A and B are shown apart, each in its own frame.
Chain A
Amino acid sequence: MVVTTQHKQFPSLELESGIVLAPVDVAYETYGTLNESKSNAILIVHAFSGDAHAGGVDAEGHKGWWDNMIGPGKGFDTSKYFVICSNVLGGCKGSTGPSSINPATGQPYAMSFPVITIGDMVRLQKLLIDSFGITRLLSIAGGSMGGMQVLEWAVRYPESVASAIPIASTARHSAQQIAFNEVARQAIMADPDWCNGNYYNSKPPGRGLAVARMVGHITYMSDESMRQKFGRRLREDNGIFEVESYLRYRGSQFVDRFDANSYLYITKAMDVFDLANGAQSLVPVLAKSRTRYLIISFTSDWLYPSYQSLEIVSALRRRNQDVAYIELTSNYGHDAFLVEVDEQADLIRGFLSRTMKENEKR
């Protein structure tokens, strides 16, 4: 199926900070068909550098970032469910972000873009979902930063979420996760081409952004997967290590598709996100949700280690909330949520079909 990213504009969005963004754009894609009772909608929320193109193939032949999970008969079975994915607020793939034109000045927002949060991303998604007339999502699913949005949805709009699937995620970043993001931000800001964010009419800070992405890719893999993928092999053409070549390639490729200021804003939103809002215990905040949970983590994911998922599971158990949890075995590190398709598809298929059954009883 060839899919096209679509766009909607809303007159305004009030942010958690009280600042109003007006107007606000959202880029999204949909797969499958919304049923008459609008009870089969699933929102897919993307990770840090993702976009609205989650499934299918676009006009240029690019597969969606979770295409192996979205489609007829797949984990998110589009012959049964209506799947929506949108680009996050602050992004650079069609939704309003720092590279968008500020209507007040006619120039890109750049660093005048207001500080945004995971909660603000969710508010924009809620506008989009409301615009379809969907009052209750069958499920909301996402990995990494997507998982944070899933959790935020579940506690912010408890009546609008029948089930939630946070994968390889956390209720709040640890010092280590913040640290890696800070290194990436500093790499961007240390690039002289960054110019305090005002680079839209000149050369973007490509070197800084590439280094930021290289750091990111290290954290997405595991020691084991890097040994298997690269070992100590050298490239024949230039004599550098395979792993160096891979990181440079990934870094330079990223520069062509991502905005450096979006990197700064979105990583900051992830770092300040705290589901418990500063409280030590997750129990009270999660008690607000009326949602079935399927929580998945991966053995070799050291960026979002399983203890962070278990903290959520344990808090849900304290109030006897409905939660399934599994730590899947994988060597792929944090990338596992994009790679380990078969296991996840089985789990999600069963979980969704049970959720659908229970929904029909309501």
Chain B
Amino acid sequence: MKGEHGPLVHELFGRGDYGLISEIVEPGACVLDLGCGEGELLAWLADHKNVDARGVEISPAKLQKAIARGVSAYQGDIESCLADYPDRAFDYVLLSQTLQEIRYPLQVMRDILRVGRRAIVAFPNFGHYTVRLAHLFAGRAPKTKLFPYDWYDSPNIHFLTVDDFEILAARQNWHIERRYFLSGTREIKSFPNLMAEVAVFVVSNA
């Protein structure tokens, strides 16, 4: 379990993946956040990194808060909103903790890599040992800190792992520029498929 002793990750709004994203995105970049929620990350990027920040959010209540923060967000469904955009419209397209909820993730990833030069994709790792143990010993759909929902009201419809994503990227000929694995606020350096709670990939078309 030596992975537990990696370096600490800077958190933003209590989230390690947001912290990483805030460091990865260069100042002045044009960023689209798919599922931007209440727009905290985008507003932070606009304020601190002078980012041209755009968002898409399906929940009207969250969207209202995002716009009230001054974020250029609109009501839309991730799976249909990307078609309107021209190629390479954004420096980064963010998909944070949403990939596992999308009906056709491969199509969305292809669209993302069309409209963005790079994608930053963060998702919960279903290969995490606690999930494996819960499934193995309880014999039920895993319900853990990472996947806290009952199977019948979970937004998650795909249970992908770090390795699953790496294999898909290789098959699709995507270039994984950077990869980060998080356990709480620590970065995991070894056995990520077993030890990472959250994976963050920076992906581009090869």
Residues of A in contact with B (beta carbons under 8 Å apart): 292, 294, 313-314, 317-320, 322-329, 343, 346-347, 349-351, 353-355, 357, 361
Give the segment of B46-54, B144-152, B157-165, B192-200 that binds chain A: B46-54
Residues on A with C-beta less than 8 A from B46 are 354
User: With an 8 A cutoff between CB atoms, is B102 at the interface?
Assistant: no
User: With an 8 A cutoff between CB atoms, is B180 at the interface?
Assistant: no
Are the C-beta atoms of A327 and B60 separated by less than 8 Å? yes
Count of residues in B whose CB is under 8 Å from the partner chain: 23
Query: What are 15 residue pairs bridging A and B, where the CB atoms are less than 8 Å apart in the complex?
Result: A294-B67, A318-B85, A319-B86, A323-B72, A323-B74, A324-B67, A326-B64, A326-B67, A328-B60, A329-B60, A346-B64, A346-B68, A350-B68, A351-B67, A361-B50
Find B67's partner among A322, A347, A357 (CB 8 Å cutoff). Answer: A347
Are the C-beta atoms of A292 and B68 separated by less than 8 Å? no
User: With an 8 A cutoff between CB atoms, is B153 at the interface?
Assistant: no
Chain B min CB distance to A251 (Å): 36
User: With an 8 A cutoff between CB atoms, is B182 at the interface?
Assistant: no
Chain A residue with Cβ nearest B57 = A326
Chain B min CB distance to A328 (Å): 8
Chain B min CB distance to A323 (Å): 6
A357–B47 Cα gap in the complex (Å)?
9
Are the C-beta atoms of B68 and A347 separated by less than 8 Å? yes
User: With an 8 A cutoff between CB atoms, is B10 at the interface?
Assistant: no
Known: A319-B86, A323-B74, A353-B70. 13 other contacts (CB 8 A): A318-B84, A318-B86, A320-B89, A322-B54, A322-B72, A324-B72, A326-B63, A326-B74, A327-B75, A346-B64, A350-B69, A354-B70, A354-B71
A329–B84 Cα gap in the complex (Å)?
25
Residues on B with C-beta less than 8 A from A326 are 60, 63-64, 67, 74-75
A361–B51 Cα gap in the complex (Å)?
12
A328–B90 Cα gap in the complex (Å)?
28
Nearest 8 A/B pairs, CB to CB: A354-B70, A325-B74, A317-B84, A350-B68, A320-B89, A346-B68, A350-B70, A324-B72
Residues on A with C-beta less than 8 A from B71 are 324, 350, 354
Interface residues of B in 66-84 (CB under 8 A from A): 67-75, 81, 84
Chain A min CB distance to B83 (Å): 9
A35–B50 Cα gap in the complex (Å)?
25
**Known contacts A318-B84, A347-B64: A325-B75 contact under CB 8 Å:** yes
Residues on A with C-beta less than 8 A from B50 are 361
Interface residues of B in 30-54 (CB under 8 A from A): 30, 46, 50, 52, 54
Residues on B with C-beta less than 8 A from A354 are 46, 69-71
Chain B min CB distance to A256 (Å): 39
A270–B99 Cα gap in the complex (Å)?
45
A16–B81 Cα gap in the complex (Å)?
37
Chain A min CB distance to B18 (Å): 20
**Known contacts A313-B74, A346-B68: A320-B85 contact under CB 8 Å:** yes
A41–B110 Cα gap in the complex (Å)?
43
Chain A min CB distance to B32 (Å): 9
A324–B76 Cα gap in the complex (Å)?
11
Chain B residue with Cβ nearest A361 = B50
A324–B70 Cα gap in the complex (Å)?
9
Chain B min CB distance to A241 (Å): 35
Chain A residue with Cβ nearest B71 = A324
Interface residues of B in 1-56 (CB under 8 A from A): 30, 46, 50, 52, 54
Q: Mark B82-105, 1 if CB is under 8 A from A, else 0.
A: 001110011000000000000000
Chain B min CB distance to A171 (Å): 16
Chain B min CB distance to A300 (Å): 14
Residues on A with C-beta less than 8 A from B75 are 325-327
Residues on B with C-beta less than 8 A from A325 are 74-75
Residues on A with C-beta less than 8 A from B63 are 326
Residues on B with C-beta less than 8 A from A361 are 50
A329–B54 Cα gap in the complex (Å)?
22
Residues on B with C-beta less than 8 A from A317 are 81, 84-85
Are the C-beta atoms of B84 and A322 separated by less than 8 Å? no
A318–B84 Cα gap in the complex (Å)?
5
Residues on B with C-beta less than 8 A from A324 are 67, 71-74
Of B52, B81, B84, B85, the most chain A CB neighbours within 10 A belong to: B84
Are the C-beta atoms of B86 and A320 separated by less than 8 Å? yes
Are the C-beta atoms of A349 and B68 separated by less than 8 Å? yes
**Known contacts A347-B67, A350-B68: A322-B74 contact under CB 8 Å:** no
A329–B85 Cα gap in the complex (Å)?
27
Of B30, B54, B68, B85, the most chain A CB neighbours within 10 A belong to: B68
Residues on A with C-beta less than 8 A from B30 are 320
Chain B min CB distance to A24 (Å): 37
Are the C-beta atoms of A350 and B67 separated by less than 8 Å? yes
Chain B residue with Cβ nearest A346 = B68
Residues on B with C-beta less than 8 A from A313 are 74
Find B64's partner among A314, A343, A349, A357 (CB 8 Å cutoff). Answer: A343
Find B84's partner among A314, A346, A355 (CB 8 Å cutoff). Answer: A314
Residues on A with C-beta less than 8 A from B85 are 317-318, 320
